[in-house]
Structure 1
Amino acid sequence: MKYKSVFDIMGPIMIGPSSSHTAGAAKIGKAARTLFGKEPNWIEIFLYGSFAKTYRGHGTDVALVGGILDFNTDDQRIPDSLEIAESKGIKINFHQDEAAVEHPNTVRIKLGDGNDQLELVGISIGGGKVEITELNGFELHLSGNHPAILVMHNDRFGAIASVAQILAKHEINIGRMEVSRKDIGKEAIMIIELDENIDSYIERELERAENILQIAKIVD
C-alpha cells in the first residue's frame, strides 16, 4: 500500500481511540451528510462485524452521528454528538446486524427528513481511510481520498460524454471514473474522482447538461 505522507502512516488527527472505528466512522457519517446535502431528522444505523461488537466502546456510535452532524474527525463535539442530535430533535436508532459482510468494519446508514432520504454503505479500511460501496442501491467504489463528483443521470446516449466535455473545457482532469446503473434506460450514476475541486459555476453547468438529474460534490 502506498502512502502520500508520514501522516497517512501515523493516522489522522482525530477524537477517539481508533482510527478505523472512530475516525473512519466519522468520515463515513460525513460522507452521508454531504451526499444528503442537509441535516436529517431521523437516522437508522446498521452495524456489522467488528463495528457491531465494539461500537460503543470504540466510539463508533458517536463518530458516525458526529459525521452526520457535519463534524470533522478532530471536532471536540464528537463525544457529545448523540446528545447534540437529541437536542436537535433527530431520532436515531442503532441496529447490530449479524448478516455476513465482506469487511468487518461495515455500516449501513439510512437517513432522511419529511421529503427525502438516502441509504449508504461504507467500510472503514484502517488508518482513517474509508470507502463508500453503495449509494441508494447503486454499487460504487468511492474512497473519499480525492475530490469527486457523483452525477445522477438518465441512462441515455451522450450523457457521459457531455459531462466529460464540460470538465475538459474547464481543464479539470479525471483521475478515475465509474458508471453504475440498475437497468438499461433507467437512472444511472457516474462516480468521477478529480485532480482538483470544481468551482460552483462548473457544478451548475454540469447540472444544466442534458439528462443530468443531480450533482453531489465530495470536497477533499
Structure 2
Amino acid sequence: MERSSVFDMIGPVMIGPSSSHTAGVVRIGRVGVKLLGGIAEEAEITFYNSFAQTYEGHGSDRAIVAGLMDFETDDERIKNSFDHAKGKMKFKFRSIGNASTKHPNTVYLKLTKGDKKIELEGESRGGGVIRIASVNGFNSGFTANLHTLIVTTDDAMGSIAFISDVISHDDCNIATMTVSRKGKNDIACQIIEMDSGINDITLQYIRNLKWVHNVIYIPVI
C-alpha cells in the first residue's frame, strides 16, 4: 500500500484565496471590534513585511475591512467589504515592507469610535490561526481560540491572585496568562485565556473594583 507524503493543512471555512492572507486577517479585524466594543468609525491599517507586498493582490485589504465590520471568515460580503463599509467606517492603509522585528504577516490597527481608541498588533500564522501580539502597547500574545479576559489595573500587590480567584468561582480554568506593565507601580494589564466563558455578574464585579481601570471580555472568535 502506497502512502502519500503530502499533508494538507486543514483551515477554517472561509472565503479565499488564502487562509493566512484572508481568514486570519478577518479574525484579527474581529478581535479589534471586540476590543473597541463595536464597529470603528475610523481605522488606520498598517501592513508589514510580506503583507505590505501582497495585501492588495491577495485580498488582505478587503479581509481586514470585513473583519472590522465583524463579518465571519465564510461571509460572502468579504469580497465587497469596501462597499459595505461606506458610510459606516472610514479607513486608510499604510505599508511598511521591512520590519525585521515583526512577524512576516503582521497588521497593526488604530481604531476609533467616539472617544474610544484601541491599538492592536496581530499576526496571521497560517490556517486561519492568529496571534494578537499587543494591545494598547501591552504585550498580549493571545490567539482568540479561547475565551479571553483583558483586565487593566493599577500595579497593585496581589491583583493577579485576586482576579484568578474571582474567575475560579465561575469554574473558569485558566489556560494562559500574560501580565505586563508600563513600569513599576504604574498601569498593568492581565491577559487571561480561559477554557470556558465567564458570567456577566463576575465581569461587573471586576469592573467595580477600585483598582481596576478597564475590563474587556472576548468570547471565542
**Structure 1 length normalisation: TM-score?**
0.92
* 2:30 match: secondary structure: helix
Instruction: Indicate the residue corresponding to 2:91 in structure 1.
Output: 92
Q: Report deviation, 1:214.
A: 1.2
Instruction: Kindly tell me the number of residue pairs found equivalent between the two proteins.
Output: 212
Query: After superposition, what is the alpha-carbon deviation per residue over 1:38-73, rounded to whole angstroms, capped at 9, x for unaligned?
Result: 221111001011111111111101111111111111
Structure 1, unaligned stretches of length 5 or more?
Answer: 1-7
1:108-141, Cα deviation, whole Å (9 max, x unpaired): 1111033121111000011100000011111121
Equivalents in 1 of 2:122, 2:16: separation in Å?
Answer: 19
Stretches (4+) displaced over 4 A: none
Amino acid across the alignment from 2:43: I
**Conserved 8 A contact 1:159-1:212:** no
SS in 1 for 2:14: coil
Aligned identity (percent) is: 40
- Cα displacement (A) at 1:208: 2.0
How far apart are the structure 2 equivalents of 1:40 and 1:172? 30
Structure 1 segment 133-152 matched on structure 2, within 5 A: 133-152=133-152
Q: Report the equivalent of 1:79.
A: 79
Alignment correspondent of 1:204: 204
Conserved 8 A contact 2:109-2:121: yes
Which residue number in structure 1 is paired with residue 165 of structure 2? 165
Find the aligned partners of 1:21 and 1:79 in 2 and give their Cα distance: 13
Which amino acid counterpart does residue 46 of structure 1 have in structure 2? T
Give 3-state SS (helix, strand or coil) of 1:126's partner: coil
CA contact (8 A) 2:170 2:198 kept: no
CA distance, structure 2, for counterparts of residue 113 and residue 201 of structure 1? 26
State the shift of 1:107 in Å. 0.7
- Matches of 1:181 and 1:25, distance apart in 2: 27
C-alpha distance in 2 between matches for 1:207 and 1:161: 16
**Structure 2 runs not aligned, ≥5 long:** 1-7
Paired residues of 2:152 and 2:190 also in contact (CA < 8 A): yes
* TM-score when normalising by structure 2: 0.91
- What SS does structure 2 have at the residue aligned with 1:184? coil
Q: Which residue of 2 aligns with 1:186?
A: 186
> Offset of 1:9 from its aligned partner?
3.6
**TM superposition shift of 1:145:** 1.4
Map 1:2-151 → 2, pairs under 5 A? 9-88=9-88, 90-101=89-100, 102-151=102-151
SS of 1:58 mapped into structure 2: coil
Aligned-residue RMSD, C-alpha: 1.4
Deviations along 1:120-168, one digit per CA (max 9) or x if unpaired, are 1000011100000011111121111111111111111122122111112
Q: Equivalent residue of 1:87, what SS?
A: coil
Contact 1:162 1:209 in 2 (8 A): no
